[in-house]
Every structure is written in structure tokens, then in C-alpha cells.
């Protein structure tokens, strides 16, 4: 069953149309990816799904309910967590304080302590350095912290924008390993990525976006063998 359905979304910035009739489905419990180059429209789609920008037409449905006219805070309350590109941490706060900010909505605040323990299990590095300031962490560690903070709202669907961007291959692998763990826990993940090879190794299903249009879709492993993907994105 599709937990998230995007149907015929069009988005324009003034005269520039950034998304053209974009439709896709994210099946419950799966890792689904949207792959594309810089400027293809990936972040624009995430912003349209989360109510950060308004689409000119189209529908977004979460668990069968239209969410495209809801404000961003109401969308998050439904169980969707959005990690924007770059993580947007609070650099002068500690690891624990940054995680707690993910539980800021009052109904989550009361259970932040058990949730913190869960994050320290999922990301042992965070548990070892609870009082370290976010700004002193490496890029990979910051990305782990940003993921942890996004998970503090107990989402059923995580939207991750360019998790692996700027990370070393080793850290990128570590981040994708967490994505697999989330799937094992039953959390649905929609990933937006430029790292085509690593993403297709993890994703159950993927869409490719070029110039604001979906140009290809298929199961992760089968796209790895696809001639067009090999030529255009994998350089082989």
C-alpha cells in the first residue's frame, strides 16, 4: 500500500516551472528514492510534500488523506519528518539538546528521555558524546545527529534530503546503513539523492527526475543494471 501518493504536482517559481506533472508513490515500509542532478527539482518536491511551498496543481495524499492544503506543522504532526539538506542543526547546542529539539512539540516532550536512549542505541557515537557542541562534530557525525533529531518526533515516514552529500564514502555507507535499519523497524523512508550508486543498492524502488520531470522508475537493483542509468549517472 502506498503511504504517500504524489499526483500530478506542478510547481513554479515566478516564470520558472520547477516541477512538471510529477507523480510518484511511496510504499509503506519501503525505502523509495528520488534521484537527480543539481537543480533537477528534488528539494522542490520535498518542499511541496511538506507544505513549505504551494504547488500550482496536483495532490499529495498521506495514508489516504489529502495533505496538500495543510500547513507544514500539521503535516509533521501526522507523522512525517523532514530532514532538509545540510541538517540545520543548532551549532551552539550539545548533542543531547539538539536531539531534544526534535521532541519540541509538547505531546512529545514528556517522552523525550526514552526516545533519547533509543537514539543513543541507534547512533552510539551520539551517546558517547552527549555534551559535545554540534559545531565541533565532523560532517558525518552532524548528519547522524540531524537524522537522530528527525527521528525524535517518532515519524512513520522520513523524508531525507541528500543525506550523503559532502560525506566520505565510509560515512555515506554508515548513513545508508541507518536507513536500512529504519526500514527494518518498519519506518518508511523517502530519500532524495545524487549518490546514485549507493542509493540504488539500498532503495527498494527509485524514481529519476530530470529538469522537473520524472523520466524513469523501477526497482533499485534493476535500475543499477539499466543502460540509461549506467550511462547517464554511473559513468559505465
User: Could you tell me the strand order of the sheet in which 31-35 lies?
Assistant: 80-83, 157-161, 188-193, 31-35, 205-210, 213-219
Binding to ligand ATP by residue 41, rule CB under 6 A?
yes
Q: Which is nearer to ligand ATP, 38 or 131 (CB)?
A: 38
Report H helices in the chain. Answer: 42-49, 72-77, 95-101, 106-109, 112-122, 124-128, 139-151, 169-184, 196-202, 220-224, 227-229
Smallest distance, Å, CB 193 to ligand ATP? 9
Q: Which is nearer to ligand ATP, 44 or 55 (CB)?
A: 44
Smallest distance, Å, CB 191 to ligand ATP? 12
Binding to ligand ATP by residue 12, rule CB under 6 A?
no
Evaluate whether 31 touches 199 at the Cβ level (below 8 Å): no
- C-alpha 22/C-alpha 209 separation (Å) is 9
Binding to ligand ATP by residue 15, rule CB under 6 A?
no
Binding to ligand ATP by residue 40, rule CB under 6 A?
yes
Q: Judged by CB under 6 A, which of 39, 71, 91, 169 binds ligand ATP?
A: 39
Binding to ligand ATP by residue 159, rule CB under 6 A?
no
Binding site for ligand ATP (CB under 6 A): 13, 16, 18, 36, 38-44
Amino acid at each position: 500500500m502506498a503511504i504517500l501518493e504524489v499526483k500530478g504536482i506542478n510547481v513554479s517559481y515566478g516564470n520558472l516551472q520547477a516541477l512538471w506533472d510529477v507523480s510518484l508513490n511511496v510504499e509503506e515500509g519501503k525505502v523509495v528514492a528520488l534521484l537527480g542532478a543539481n537543480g533537477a527539482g528534488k528539494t522542490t518536491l520535498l518542499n511541496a510534500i511538506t507544505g513549505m511551498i504551494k504547488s500550482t496543481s496536483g495532490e499529495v495524499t498521506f495514508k489516504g488523506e489529502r495533505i496538500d492544503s495543510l500547513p507544514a506543522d500539521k503535516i509533521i504532526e501526522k507523522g512525517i519528518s523532514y530532514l532538509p539538506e545540510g541538517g540545520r542543526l543548532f551549532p551552539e547546542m550539545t548533542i543531547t539538546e539538539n536531539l531534544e529539539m526534535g521532541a519540541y512539540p509538547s505531546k512529545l516532550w514528556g517522552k523525550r528521555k526514552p526516545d533519547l536512549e533509543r537514539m543513543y542505541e541507534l547512533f552510539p557515537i551520539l551517546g558517547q558524546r552527549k555534551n559535545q557542541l554540534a559545531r565541533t562534530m565532523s560532517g558525518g557525525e552532524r548528519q547522524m545527529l540531524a537524522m537522530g533529531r528527525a527521528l525524535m518526533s517518532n515519524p512513520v515516514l522520513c523524508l531525507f534530503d541528500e543525506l550523503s552529500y559532502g560525506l566520505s564514502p565510509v560515512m555515506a555507507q554508515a548513513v545508508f546503513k541507518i536507513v536500512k535499519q529504519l526500514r527494518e523497524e518498519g519506518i518508511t523512508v523517502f530519500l532524495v539523492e545524487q549518490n546514485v550508486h549507493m542509493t540504488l543498492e539500498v532503495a527498494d524502488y527509485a524514481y529519476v527526475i530530470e529538469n522537473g520531470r520524472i523520466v524513469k522508475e523501477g526497482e533499485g537493483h534493476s535500475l543499477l543494471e539499466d543502460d540509461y542509468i549506467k550511462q547517464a549517472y554511473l559513468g559505465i
